[in-house]
Chain A
Amino acid sequence: MAKQILSPLPGTFYRKPSPDQPAFKSVGDAVAVGDVIGLIEVMKSFNEVVADQAGIITGFPTDDEEPVMAGQPLVELE
């Protein structure tokens, strides 16, 4: 089964550090444990989502600026 990075928090998912900057990671990029893959905004703060697994990104099941629940897949890896 493909590996997934799950959202630790409910809130709004952002793939970019700020609107005018490129995404943290894109499909095809390598991810190491500890890499930041996105941000979750909740309670007026932006919280980094850190990869707990390594691999190559095959997809982002949650779009940029979409609402997320805790435990929802954000990144798929192989």
Chain B
Amino acid sequence: MAINVLKPGLSTTVQDLGRPGYYHIGIPQSGGMDSLSLAAANLLVGNPAGAAVLEAVFMGPELEFTADAVVAVTGADMPPKVDGAEQAGWTSFGVKKGQVLSFGFLKSGARAYIAVSGGIDVPVVLGSRSTYTLGALGGHEGRKLMAGDVLPVGTGSGTAGRTVPETLRRKPGAPAELRMLPGLYWHRITEAAGAQFFDDTWKVAPEADRIGYRFKAGTPLEFVPRDQPFGAGSDPSNIVDACYPYGSVQVPGGTEPIVLHRDAVSGGGYFMVGTVVSADMDLIGQLQPHTPTRFVKVTMEQALAARKDRAAVLAAIESSLS
């Protein structure tokens, strides 16, 4: 069984839950930006939660199926269509041999996850099928899909008509709220700047992508004066090179925060105000350009509680589909 890519969409990539374990040598984890939606799509079609799916950002692809399959689309609200007939999101449906899966305009969210029973069967690289486009690693030939690509699909047995209850689907609020734990370099900005950072409503910059989500339209940060440390750059936002955690929020020049995401670099010389909690990283993957967003200060205890809540949602989806 294979899928013929008729139109690729804007940037559609093969992703699973990622390849953790190589960040220390500069290879990011990659994987779905909204991992919960990715897992839910797989569970809907009878796959293991971490099977490889397609992640389509802002615009869906057009895919021709060479055999019958069961498909589910989760994440962004971008209506799937089978030979033009609209299908429900977050619900499994059948696609027959020769039929074409296409998509309507994006209505909300940013990234749709397209799971096919059996999973997208590209080769496993360093333990994952995820695409890391900057490193030309994994996925389908290490790149986003192009028209004419043929994607191998594994053998699976899904059931059409299964659905994830509405209450278990998470969408960004208005404004979107990202919980953040202040980090090691918090002392670099003044108390007033720190308070303003959380008061401001930021906007997602159009250049936000899988590497990092940039935010603009907030107040520039005021730094505490210092003597430039040996090894650090001269800008007040520079530090002696350090590791960048997944979710860390760097603010080059103190002007536009960037939340490092799935395909980020692993280190560098910009200070980080803090780290977005793991429970909210999926939410970032669903933010469109210009979305108003606020950062909400949390403690480590609150961050860990949020992680637990998130795991409970996935468990609830799993049990609702079993």
Residues of A in contact with B (beta carbons under 8 Å apart): 6, 8-12, 41-44, 47, 67, 69-71
Contact = CB atoms under 8 A, between A and B. Distances in A.
A70 B59 CA distance: 9
A8 B290 contact: no
B219 interface: no
Interface stretch (B121-129, B175-183, B206-214): B206-214
Chief secondary structure at chain B's binding surface:
loop
B146 interface: no
B10 A67 contact: no
A8 B59 contact: yes
A43 B209 contact: yes
A42 B105 contact: no
Contact of A67 (B106, B209, B289): B289
B107 A71 contact: yes
Contact of A9 (B59, B207, B209, B290): B59
A43 B207 contact: yes
Which of the four size classes fits the interface of chain B? 10 to 19
9 contacts: A6-B105, A9-B10, A10-B289, A43-B57, A43-B207, A43-B208, A44-B209, A70-B106, A70-B107
A8 B209 CA distance: 18
A67 B105 CA distance: 16
Interface string B245-286: 000000000000000000000000000000000000000000
Contacts of B10: 9, 42-43, 47
Given A8-B59, A9-B58, A44 B207 contact: yes
Interface of B: 10-11, 57-59, 105-107, 110, 206-209, 288-290
Nearest to B209: A43
Contact of B105 (A41, A44, A71): A71
A70 to B, nearest CB: 4
Nearest to B104: A71
Nearest to A10: B288
Nearest to A44: B207
A60 to B, nearest CB: 19
What 8 A-B pairs are tightest by C-beta distance, nearest first? A71-B105, A70-B106, A67-B290, A43-B209, A10-B288, A44-B207, A70-B105, A9-B58
B11 A10 contact: no
Contacts of A8: 59, 105
Contacts of B209: 43-44
Contacts of A9: 10, 58-59, 106
Given A43-B57, A43-B209, 10 more contacts: A8-B105, A9-B10, A41-B206, A42-B58, A44-B207, A67-B206, A67-B289, A69-B288, A70-B59, A70-B106
